[in-house]
Structure 1
Amino acid sequence: MKTHVKALVVGGGAVGTGIAYHLARAGWDTMLLERDELTAGSTWHAAGLLPLFNMGYATGHIHDYSVKFYKSLEAETGLNPGFAVVGNLRMAQSAARMDEYMLYATTAETLGVPFEFLTPAQIAARYPLIRTDDLQGALFHPTDGYINPADVTQAMAKGARQLGCVIERRWQVDGYRWTGAEWIVSVTKMVERGGNLVRSEETAQIVAEHVVTATGNHAQRTAQMLGLKLPAIPVEHQFIVTEPDPALVEWRKTNGEHPVLRDADAKWYVREERGGWILGPYERGAPARFAYGVPDSFRADLFPLDLDRIEAEYMSMLHRLPSSETVGLKDDFNGPICYTPDGNPLVGPAPGLRNMWLAEGFSFGITAAGGTGHYLAQMMTEGEAEIDMAALDPRRFGPWITTEYAARKNEECYDHVYVLHHPDEERPACRPLRTAPAYDRQKARGAQFGCVNGWERPNYFGPVDAPDTFDHDTRSFRRGGWWEHAVAEAQAIRGGVGMIDATAFTKHIVRGPGATAFLDWFTCNKLPKVGRINLTYALTAQGTTRTEYTILRMSENEYYLISAGAWTAYDSDFLRKAAEDRMSDFGYVDIHDVTTQWGVFALAGPKSRDLLAAVIKDSDPATALCNKRFPWLSWRNIELGMCPVRAVRVAYTGELGWELHHPIEMQNYLFDLLMAAGAPLDLKLVGARAQNWLRQEKSYRAFGNELGRDATPLEADLPRFVDLGKDFHGKDAMQATGIRSTCVTLLVDGPKDADPWGREALYLGDTRVGRLTSGGYSVAFGKSIGMGYVRPDLAAPGTQLMVRMQRTLWPAEVVADSPYDPTNARIRQDG
């Protein structure tokens, strides 16, 4: 066995094998270790489906790459991966499900995934075994199908070997140690005794520059060895195989293989298997397993079947495929499949560790294996993937996540595989958990909460007597029941004053003798002077946007950084690693995550100064908030009643406003003070949805939407925040990249009952020329609004495009940045 490699991949399932293949193809000296046999984990009992349906942009790219890659394996390796391109028919029993498919189809368009919509009559004509009298229609993917999990894994393994990768079986990893330059991995040879795998006396150490863990159901053991908290825990998944169905056998005599069927409203998939059917339900009540590790005795094993748990799904299959009613059952499976709380795998750098890469938590591992290998290999060998992989980044989950939380959320995620995935979806399990002090006060005033990094954050304020905290009944793929409340909130900020709870913001203190030099190199804009603030970006090595910061300069070498609330662990890890890497250049930098120490209320609107003036304690309250003493883009320590506040003159809504950063233990006092002072001014509590609409009227880019690791700040059309007169991380790469596409704002003359969600395709005539990254409604213009990326030649204001919504192209006009108050007169107004 080799004892020194460039990259060591741990785990020989489909995902690990796909990663090893692509690292070897990139030219890295690679070795893969498997504790048992290849495919011995969840891969062996997977149904092998390749669902292209996905509303996530990164995950959609990964699945699309896999499907195309698997079709090329036989020519390269001589091994047939068992890919049956039979198509995938997603049936809909309700109009809402068809709305979901129409929204998904816009995402598919941006990826170039072919599809077609079918009516019930068309379904019946093509596939007469299906009962269609209670269907609304279906979405069909002709390039979809299923594959043999063992065969595709072995094909990738052979391809990896042909490229120089060494694959070693029956070696278990027992420990990792980082030397400061490489990993020393302790391994033990496993031997089979009495049907069990046991450790032998033979041990070894492997030195690897990089390690990738793709340990599947064993992710908790991996996490313990690395000192990490990973929310990747398996959930039971059952499927059953029937005897041959005579009607299917007869149909096959004159037709090709039957397509994969998905009746999402019945919560199952069905595919053909040797003349019979495989039924895979996603039922309620499937339990999480192995929350604290897989027993050594568990190998390619299964759990006892629980047919009572899937009775409803089985009966619905008989309803949908009447010919299956007389067919007996031939086989059954109940095995573990790993999940994460949001259903996306953990792919990318391990938090706090160097050259340790994670590929864990795959609930659709066969579909994702090829694409994960491709894009993770790009991240490792080139520094970044060509697509933004932030949605899969392991650091999207912070260290606050516990095993209990992960197990319960993973069970919910399994149960929600076929639940309607509204864009305004909020799932209830394990909530509330992270709450700011004013949570109960806001809830009593009708707050309907969303969840951001575990924090409860108001999405909007509905009726005070609303019984359901998670507002299931108001959700829609169109304008849901919450829409009118968000409109009223947006209008209140434009015409009066509103208050937004922004406590979830990520906040860091960066200080020390090296802080100024480090941040000057770390970010692309000028650093602010003491007492002032600046908006800036930290870039990747490829010059794309890694994260966005608002920087307050507290003193010569002390800064307060504010960034997106969803990315606290991500930003902390990035900041600390970057500072450590350049300590010899810049000196010592002290970094503290103070997110949970500071609450934030954002006051915005033309009456916001009047409200603050009523409660500020100052030697001259009349002038305390005027432009001379408190100009735009500055900060000051002030006192509001008895509460000390770090006030920041900025507003994400584009109105006169302040962010009020306050000691979190005083939040309830400050909330009550502001509510009382705001009552004469008709102060309105405002949620995140109205704020999202308002920031689009100002063309304010949002991290994770317009800003990400697949576009540079110049492509985001933000040259005013880039100081090309200084040296900064990623500068050369940013300039070399050029302008591949340009971020624009569009006003949309869309349908009367819907707005874009920010994933729709943009067209010029019949040519797809871009996609939206944000969408919503503009109270200022009385129509839909969106932001997105188009070809640079189409970015000029006045360009007439079309946006796809509900299968129809609607007029969309590119407008100048900041269509509302383009001169910022309202933000700068004096008092």
Structure 2
Amino acid sequence: MKTQVKALVVGGGAVGTSIAYHLAKAGWDDVMLIERDELTSGSTWHAAGLLPLFNMSYATTHIHKYSVDFYKTLEEETGLNAGFAVVGNLRMAQTQDRMDEYMLYASTAETCDVDYEWLTPDQIKERWPLIETGDLKGAIYHAEDGYINPADVTQAMAKGARQRGVEIHRKLQADDFHWNGTHWEVTCTKMIEKGGNLIESDEKVVITAEHVVTASGNHAQRTAKMLGIKMPAIPVEHTFIVMDKDPELVKWREAGNPEHPVIRDADNESYAREERGGWILGIYEHGAPARFEHGVPDSFRADLFPLDLDRIADQYMAMAERVPSCAESGLKDDFNGPICYTPDGNPLVGPAPGLRNMWLAEGFSFGITAAGGTGFYLAQMMVDGEAEIDMASLDPKRYSSNWMTTEFAARKNEECYEHVYILHHPDEERPAARPLRTAPAFDRQKARGAQFGWVNGWERPNYFGPFDAPDNFDHDARSFRRGGWWQHAVDEAKAIREGAGLVDATAFTKHVVKGPGATQFLDWFTCNKLPKVGRINLTYALTAFGTTRTEYTIVRNGENNYYLVSAGAWSEYDADFLRKAAEDKMEEFGYIEIQDVTTQWGVFAIAGPKSRDVLKEVIVDADPETALSNKRFPWLSARQIELGMCPVNAIRVAYTGELGWELHHPIEMQNYLFDLLEKAGEKHGMKLVGARAQNWLRQEKSYRAFGNELGRDATPLEADLPRFVDQEKDFHGKDKLVETGVRVKCCTLLIDGPEDADPWGHEALYAEDGVTRVGRLTSGGYSVAFEKSIGMGYVKPDVAVEGTKLKVKMQDKLWDAVVTCDSPYDPKNETIRMNG
């Protein structure tokens, strides 16, 4: 066998074989895959093999769709039948809420070219008489979906990989990873079978690889320990049972009728499909435990856990009601095995934090569905430098090693498992492992009625409900339309537009970049001009392909001293990219020091036409009346001020588009500052404001948000931000940015939508004819300034013209929308520059 390769893939399940196949297909002719046991011996062998296209994630939907299309081509290429039964996928709804969920998904599906069909209960009964439909509202049906044999599709991909030159070695376990500065040296142990167990031999081999990909499935925690990183990929027990023959089903098939689609009974937390005249019933129940938090025991191979019938009794009985003909069918077999999860259900795909040329493909709860697409898009990232879709939502660094622990991952993964079929409201907030990261003012805000959201482990107020609410008041009233929080967010947004509001922005990511090489580095690293000392600028760090990798507000505190503020949800994602880029350029530019100071500084954002009046009450200055004036403290500048006894690094900027300041303060003084501002704001009617109102307000100003409008699938020019790109200088990604041009364009839309709903930012956009799809929304909400729905999104460039009439798909209907000007609220920035 070879001992030196371009890429080494560790793990021989469906995901690993797909990655090896696609790397070879993308042109790498020196790829090896190793597996500690047999191919498919992990979770692959006991997977049910379903291929659900249904997913609310734009990236994951693309991945799933690629897999479904790709698997259909494997037999022609390899000669092996992958066992793909294209029977369709019938996802049923018992409630209008569930239908609302499907309608939101369907609009997202359209943006990814995923076909679907709506069925009424009568239409379901007409096609599949064995299904009881009396309690149903309807269903969404994917005709091109179905199920596949996990072992067969894995072996087909493995054969396809071998045909393209990939070496595959079984019974070879990776035991150590060492980076020698240019390559990985992977120490492997040859495994042998003895008495039915897999044990280590004395034979070792070291494989040197330029790139390593780990796809270790249930062994992810062992992999993480060897790499010296943390990742929240921990298995949870998943049960499916095989039922004896259903006599009516046998008759149905003997009469020449087609196989039933995969039946997804979401409100009964289960799925079912035919299996040799009977049914396979899979369940996502409450109480399924996490397993192998500290690693898989050496004795565990292709093993299972004991069946816990009590845990799945309700779903088992519900199946007998859904398909009454199976009520007398006995239990033929059961599978209760480990399936790896992550806290949000999305896998960990991308570069490992802090490491060079180490790629993770871990935490796949729907591994068979995701395997094909993961191999395709990860190969693009590795071979080309970037994928054609934005993979940030799957990046392993979305869970920071600064706070993510084993206990957190285990409890959140259990919660994620039981939420597979719980309604996925866009405004949902899941309670497990919370609160975890809290700013000092958390308790004070909670006492004022704050209802918190979760961002990068932090508790952040979403909105403020009535603090004196009766016991039966539902703070968590969620909906696919306007939830119980909606009116509170309206009131908060109006407070900022008309008076003053205070927002807790402590979760912002904050870095200090300084040293002799700092200025040259940041000038190359970002695409806008650097600010002068005492001033700020908005800028972007780009990928090698010229798309947006990170958005920064840069405050220049000194000639070679900078304070960088970026999105709170992406702390380690930003930190890793920043540090690696600086390391690469230090020899060229000089010493660069980078400090993550996120937890050292709290942030309050005060905004609104009366915000200056509030601050005048507490600022300590020789002339308080002019201290905050445009002359002494102009827009887009930064100053160190004192508010009472609290030193504050104040930045004259507001994400809401009003007169305002960000008040960056020592976090240990946060409660003092909160009390001071709250008291000063009383006579000016200042209101505490949450993230949801702020999100609406920034859309009225057309402020792009990272992870929504800004990402790795569009350039800043496509985001229609040419004013933040200095094409007179050289910067990372410039050549590709210019070469790419403008394929799509970001715009803001005002929408005449339904009276009880607003867009969420997942919806498809159509031309005025209602037939031609022209783009998709990336943000959505309500505008208090225009008293109608608002959204931002990407459309074809010729459509992104003010006044263009479009249609937006909401609740399975088309609603009128019009492209408005950039920053429809205060387009001349008069309020944000308000004199004083």
Alignment check: 8 A CA contact 1:52 1:144 kept: yes
1:302 aligns with 2:304: yes
Alignment check: 8 A CA contact 1:426 1:470 kept: no
Q: Which residue matches 2:86?
A: 85
Q: Which residue matches 1:810?
A: 815
1:674 aligns with 2:683: no
Alignment check: 8 A CA contact 1:241 1:277 kept: yes
Shift of 1:254: 2.6
Counterparts of 1:470 and 1:449, CA distance in 2 = 16
Q: Which residue matches 1:328?
A: 330
Query: Structure 1 residue aligned with 2:404, among 393, 397, 401?
Result: 401
Counterparts of 1:566 and 1:678, CA distance in 2 = 29
Q: Which residue matches 1:381?
A: 383
DSSP-derived class of the 1:158 partner: helix
Which amino acid in structure 2 is aligned with residue 813 of structure 1?
A: V
DSSP-derived class of the 2:397 partner: helix
Q: Which residue matches 2:439?
A: 436
Which amino acid in structure 2 is aligned with residue 132 of structure 1?
A: T
Q: Which residue matches 1:147?
A: 148
Query: Structure 1 residue aligned with 2:483, among 458, 480, 485?
Result: 480
Alignment check: 8 A CA contact 2:120 2:139 kept: yes
Shift of 1:244: 1.2
Q: Which residue matches 1:721?
A: 724
Which amino acid in structure 2 is aligned with residue 783 of structure 1?
A: K
Counterparts of 1:501 and 1:288, CA distance in 2 = 34
Alignment check: 8 A CA contact 1:606 1:656 kept: yes
DSSP-derived class of the 1:825 partner: coil
Query: Structure 2 residue aligned with 1:708, among 687, 694, 711?
Result: 711
- 1:427-480 CA distance string (max 9 Å, x none): 000000100000000000000000000000000001113589996641000001
Alignment check: 8 A CA contact 1:526 1:723 kept: yes
DSSP-derived class of the 2:831 partner: helix
1:70 aligns with 2:75: no
Counterparts of 1:204 and 1:110, CA distance in 2 = 48
Alignment check: 8 A CA contact 2:475 2:484 kept: no
CA distance 1:470–1:737, shift in 2 (3 Å):
farther
Which amino acid in structure 2 is aligned with residue 811 of structure 1?
A: D
1:272 aligns with 2:277: no
- 1:301-346 CA distance string (max 9 Å, x none): 0011101100001011111110110111110010000000111000
Counterparts of 1:464 and 1:118, CA distance in 2 = 44
Alignment check: 8 A CA contact 2:107 2:810 kept: yes
Counterparts of 1:217 and 1:472, CA distance in 2 = 38
| Unmatched segments (≥5 aa) in structure 1 | none
Q: Which residue matches 1:744?
A: 747
- 1:644-693 CA distance string (max 9 Å, x none): 00000000000000000000000000000000000001110000000000
DSSP-derived class of the 2:581 partner: helix
Alignment check: 8 A CA contact 2:465 2:475 kept: no
1:822 aligns with 2:827: yes
Within a 5 Å distance, the mapping from 1:90-105 to structure 2 comes to 90-105=91-106
DSSP-derived class of the 2:496 partner: helix
Q: Which residue matches 2:806?
A: 801
How many residue pairs get aligned? The number is 831
DSSP-derived class of the 1:428 partner: coil
- 1:403-433 CA distance string (max 9 Å, x none): 0000000000000000000000100000001
Counterparts of 2:384 and 2:663, CA distance in 1 = 41
1:223 aligns with 2:224: yes
Q: Which residue matches 1:129?
A: 130
Q: Which residue matches 1:773?
A: 778
Counterparts of 2:813 and 2:94, CA distance in 1 = 21
DSSP-derived class of the 2:798 partner: helix
| Unmatched segments (≥5 aa) in structure 2 | none
1:4 aligns with 2:4: yes
Which amino acid in structure 2 is aligned with residue 151 of structure 1?
A: D
Alignment check: 8 A CA contact 1:449 1:469 kept: no
Counterparts of 2:305 and 2:154, CA distance in 1 = 23
CA distance 1:469–1:424, shift in 2 (3 Å):
farther
Query: Structure 1 residue aligned with 2:645, among 639, 642, 646?
Result: 642
Alignment check: 8 A CA contact 1:232 1:338 kept: yes
DSSP-derived class of the 1:406 partner: helix
- 1:17-46 CA distance string (max 9 Å, x none): 000000011121100000000000000000
Within a 5 Å distance, the mapping from 1:38-49 to structure 2 comes to 38-49=39-50
CA distance 1:469–1:713, shift in 2 (3 Å):
farther
Which amino acid in structure 1 is aligned with residue 69 of structure 2?
A: K
Alignment check: 8 A CA contact 1:63 1:371 kept: yes
Q: Which residue matches 2:354?
A: 352
Alignment check: 8 A CA contact 1:448 1:471 kept: no
Q: Which residue matches 2:789?
A: 784
Within a 5 Å distance, the mapping from 1:117-196 to structure 2 comes to 117-196=118-197
Alignment check: 8 A CA contact 1:448 1:469 kept: no
Q: Which residue matches 2:698?
A: 695
CA distance 1:703–1:469, shift in 2 (3 Å):
farther
Counterparts of 1:247 and 1:57, CA distance in 2 = 40
- 1:780-801 CA distance string (max 9 Å, x none): 0010000000000101100000
Identity between Structure 1 and Structure 2 (%): 77
Counterparts of 2:138 and 2:595, CA distance in 1 = 54
Shift of 1:246: 1.0
1:661 aligns with 2:671: no
Shift of 1:566: 0.2
- 1:603-657 CA distance string (max 9 Å, x none): 0000000000000000111110000100000000000000000000000000000
Of 22-31 and 508-517, deviating more is 22-31
CA distance 1:726–1:805, shift in 2 (3 Å):
same
DSSP-derived class of the 1:582 partner: helix
CA distance 1:717–1:429, shift in 2 (3 Å):
same
Counterparts of 1:732 and 1:120, CA distance in 2 = 55
Shift of 1:586: 0.7
Counterparts of 1:465 and 1:594, CA distance in 2 = 36
TM-score (norm 2): 0.99
CA distance 1:106–1:467, shift in 2 (3 Å):
farther
Alignment check: 8 A CA contact 1:448 1:470 kept: no
Counterparts of 2:125 and 2:637, CA distance in 1 = 66
Q: Which residue matches 1:318?
A: 320
Counterparts of 2:760 and 2:200, CA distance in 1 = 53
Within a 5 Å distance, the mapping from 1:535-574 to structure 2 comes to 535-574=538-577
Counterparts of 1:658 and 1:598, CA distance in 2 = 15
Which amino acid in structure 2 is aligned with residue 542 of structure 1?
A: F
CA distance 1:54–1:472, shift in 2 (3 Å):
farther
Alignment check: 8 A CA contact 2:451 2:475 kept: no
Counterparts of 1:543 and 1:584, CA distance in 2 = 24
Which amino acid in structure 2 is aligned with residue 818 of structure 1?
A: S
CA distance 1:381–1:168, shift in 2 (3 Å):
same
DSSP-derived class of the 1:85 partner: coil
TM-score (norm 1): 0.99
CA distance 1:471–1:386, shift in 2 (3 Å):
farther
Query: Structure 1 residue aligned with 2:345, among 343, 362, 365?
Result: 343
Counterparts of 1:152 and 1:419, CA distance in 2 = 30
Alignment check: 8 A CA contact 2:603 2:664 kept: yes
Counterparts of 1:280 and 1:463, CA distance in 2 = 42
- 1:215-263 CA distance string (max 9 Å, x none): 0000000000000011000000011001111111111223111100011
Alignment check: 8 A CA contact 2:516 2:560 kept: yes
Of 722-731 and 121-130, deviating more is 121-130
Q: Which residue matches 1:512?
A: 515
Structure 1 vs Structure 2 CA RMSD: 0.9
Counterparts of 1:354 and 1:473, CA distance in 2 = 43
Alignment check: 8 A CA contact 1:449 1:470 kept: no
